[in-house]
Amino acid sequence: MTIRVLHVASELYPLLKTGGLADVTAALPAALIELGADARVLLPGFAGVAQGLADLRPIARLERGFGAREATLELGRLPGNDLPVYMVRADAFYSRPGNPYLDDEHVPYGDNAQRFALLGWAAAQLAQHLDPAWAPHIVHAHDWHAGLAGAYLRAAARERGHAPARSVFTIHNLAYQGIFPARQFDELGLPGDFFDMHGVEFYGQLSFLKAGLFYADKITTVSPTYAREIQTVAQGGGLEALLKGRAHDLVGILNGVDYSVWSPAADEAIAARYSATRMSGKLRCKAALQQRFNLTQKHDAPVFAVVSRLSEQKGLDLLLAALPEIVARGGQLVVLGTGDASLEAGFTRAARQHPDAVAVELGFDETLAHEIVAGADVMMVPSRFEPCGLTQLYALAYGALPLVHRTGGLADTVTDASLENLADGTATGFVFERFEPDALTAAIRRAFALHARSRDWRETRARGMREDFGWAASAQRYMALYRELV
């Protein structure tokens, strides 16, 4: 039997991306199709999506608009790989310039509950044959934006006496919960008893994330370690009891890398192509990076780099504290990111203080992200917590040693260059345990020490480049989960 699965999310690379979610929602359906599944995606019709999809055509009018005057379901395909993508067109909700979730002042839009309820409701409608030509067996919702899909499916199941589809909910980040005032519940059109501790209610408010977790048949998250961490008070965000209670339905499946996008041997965005056996191109990429950022042209100065959302999660306040260590030892630092004003200011100040050694670009720039990973010697990911993390995986592929905090998916993917791991031939990067400036500083010193031992450095780098974090293995695990359900 061919499994039909609908992925419901708010981002899709390359049409709309603010983080790793977009990389996953593009690559995972494609990998599932490789394995024989019939996978499609459903997205809100944000400007980038409406403009980027090919062959868009209307499928059905949506009879409920949640306050948007007009809402229709359309179907198109992703140029490049022809992935079928449904889009909810509701211009009053989604056709806004800038960030999909926040207004110009970085404040969540006042109608986010309705905007994303419409997405979840449309998913449940698709499971009930809104498109006469295609209906999913599995509705696979990602993050709080799609959290209500499971609730609407459950409501439909109650009405019809059987579930229109089975459901999977993937947590990409428990820190974003989609919380709204209780009074907005009435606008959702859900059965009144769903506003309950055993339902969408969360400490007196309405939580889209909790809805996703409560109503899904299966819950996944994006690494095995994070799956354990979120069942603890420290990292459960108040949902640890629910998650622990559903532990037998919760599984951590590591994200993969789309090597058709992230591969230094074929990357058109970088100054020169290279591979584990032909590394000279990497030196050219490093020189190009130093030039691009007006840093001193020194091939033996290790270049540390960050490509990241500048948010509390990413632990970059720790890096600001440890930055003098990099400069004092003759290293360089390149930062590409956007987000918290205080972090933006901190890195800008550091770049002004050390113009030859520290450079910052504030913004979101996909091409530059590739140039940085290709040119860097060390990619810094000192996150407080990290559900999976993709930049450390891209770093491994590009021969930039990842330096990470031992948490979540970072712990699952990077092996520290300790003496014993070097001797055993397992080291791929640098891992620090305690989330403290001195622990990060010690890891930075280890990076300098290894850099001075060029043979060990080259071996560690080559080992990382040879590792396979492709999607095939993870897609198999999702397939097994779907098969269990249908």
Binding site per annotation, positions = 17
Q: Which of ligand GLC, ligand ADP, none does residue 464 bind to, with CB < 5 to 8 Å depending on kind?
A: none
Look at residues 459, 474, 430 and name the one whose alpha carbon lies nearest to residue 23. Answer: 474
- Identify whether 302 is preceded by a cis peptide bond (ω within 30 of 0): no
* Residue 222 found at the interface with ligand GLC (CB under 6 A): yes
CA angle 16/17/23 to nearest 5° reads 110
For the segment 22-51, give every residue that binds ligand GLC (CB under 6 A): 24
What minimum distance in Å lies between the beta carbon of 363 and ligand ADP?
6
Interface positions, 65-104, toward ligand GLC (CB under 6 A):
none
As a whole number of angstroms, the distance between CA 218 and CA 250 comes to: 6
Choose between 163 and 362: whose C-beta lies nearer to ligand ADP.
362
By CB under 6 A, tell whether 173 contacts ligand GLC.
Answer: yes
Contact 363, 386 (CB under 8 A): no
Q: By CB under 6 A, is residue 120 in contact with ligand ADP?
A: no
According to the binding rule CB under 6 A, does residue 20 interact with ligand GLC?
yes
CB neighbours of 111 closer than 8 A, spacing ≥ 6? 67, 93
Which of 153, 404 has the CB closer to ligand ADP? 404
Question: Which does residue 222 bind out of ligand ADP, ligand GLC, none, counting CB within 5 to 8 angstroms by kind?
Answer: ligand GLC
Q: Sheet containing 378-381: which strands, arranged edge to edge?
A: 358-362, 332-339, 303-310, 378-381, 401-405, 430-432
Distances (CA, A) of 466 to 109, 280, 333, 415: 44, 17, 26, 14
445 binds, among ligand ADP, ligand GLC, none (CB under 5 to 8 A by kind): none
Structure tokens at 451: 């850099």
Q: Could you give the CA distance from residue 174 to residue 242 in angstroms, rounded to a whole number? A: 13
Angle between helices 471-485 and 20-34 (to 10 degrees): 70
Question: Would you call 36 exposed, middle or buried from its count of C-beta atoms within 10 A (0-12, 13-18, 19+)?
Answer: exposed
Binding mask 395-424 for ligand GLC (x = CB under 6 A): --------------x---------------
Q: Kindly determine how many residues on this chain lie close enough to bind ligand ADP according to the rule CB under 6 A.
A: 18
Q: Is 391 in the site for ligand ADP (CB under 6 A)?
A: yes
CB of 142: closest distance to ligand ADP in angstroms?
12
Q: Give the residue with the Cβ less far from ligand GLC, 114 or 383.
A: 383
**Contact flag: residue 91 with ligand ADP (CB under 6 A):** no
- The site for ligand GLC (CB under 6 A) is made up of 19-21, 24, 172-173, 222, 255, 386-390, 409
